[in-house]
Amino acid sequence: MFQDPTFWTLVAFVAFFALIFWLKVPGKVTAQLDERAARIKKELDEAEKLHQEAQHLFAEYQRRQRNAIKEAEEIIAAARAEASALVKQAEAETAATLERRRRQAEEKIAQAEKLALQEVRDTAVEVAIAAAGQVLAGNLQGAAAAAQIDRAIGDVKAKLH
């Protein structure tokens, strides 16, 4: 039995396991494995927390982006409405200016017509006076004729003006 190598292998095997249990190696290995498992679980929990936080931030940024797009669309719509109002106002102002200039031109034309008519009347009066003076001068002679011509010319001027 002491010479059998199987016996000594068994004794060494039992001694080895006794030494392992006496030194509490399985407890230490288990403690290390539990510690490592706890550390891994902690890292996984932290990773999950970071993942959820990242998803929350991503959702928040998507919401902000949608709000920014909506706000930009509202700004564009307001700018278009304001531009349209400005165009309408400019068109109204242009129309008013054109109407005012048209009226001024018509007034100037009317004044020019009135002035031209007045000039024609004045010229006609002068021609009529000259013609009446010649007719009367031909019919009347002397000082009485001159006085009557002057009086007639004054009457014609008063009636024609």
pLDDT at 106 over 90: yes
pLDDT at 31 over 90: no
* Average of per-residue pLDDT values in the chain: 87
**Model confidence over 39-63: pLDDT tens digits?**
999 999 999 999 999 999 999 999 9
| pLDDT-derived band at 128, boundaries 50, 70, 90 | confident
Non-local (6+) Cβ contacts of 137 within 8 A are: 145, 149
In the three-class reduction of DSSP (H, G, I as helix; E, B as strand; rest coil), residue 60 is classed as helix
Per cent of the chain over pLDDT 90 is 52
- 141 versus 117: the higher-pLDDT residue is 117
Compute the chain's Rg from CA coordinates. Answer: 62
Q: What is the DSSP secondary structure assignment for residue 4, as one 8-state letter? A: -
Helices 25-139 and 143-160, packing angle to 10 deg: 160
Structural contact between residues 153 and 137, judged by C-beta atoms closer than 8 angstroms: no
- Domain segments of the chain as ranges: 5-113
Non-local (6+) Cβ contacts of 132 within 8 A are: 152, 153, 156
